[in-house]
Amino acid sequence: MFVTALCPGFTYSEFHDVNGMRAQVSRLPKFLWLDSAQVARLGVDAVESGRMRVVTGRANRLVALISRYLPDALARALLAGKSRDFRNAD
């Protein structure tokens, strides 16, 4: 058995419609998004090539790289500030 962790980042799917977040996430820059077929293909390719982890998209890989070197307190503060913008207050 082999397991691959797929870290898809922002992926176009019905997920954001179902949870009522479509309007909020639609404000994010287009370059952050990948379509679900592309993410699925990258995931399957990673499994077939024996990769343990795959982060899809250039922007997501850059964020993953930077986050390795940020102090935890700074990373938490950045995420907390941004996540408030996308929480559904209803």
Supply the pLDDT for residue 89.
Answer: 47
Cβ–Cβ under 8 Å, residues 16 and 25: yes
Residue 29: phi, psi to the nearest 5? -60, 140
Supply the pLDDT for residue 85.
Answer: 64
Supply the pLDDT for residue 5.
Answer: 96
Sequence-ordered list of residues with C-beta below 8 angstroms from that of 51, at least 6 positions apart, any chain: 4
From the first residue on, what is the mean pLDDT of each consecutive set of 10 residues in the chain (90 residues)? 90 86 84 92 96 93 89 85 61
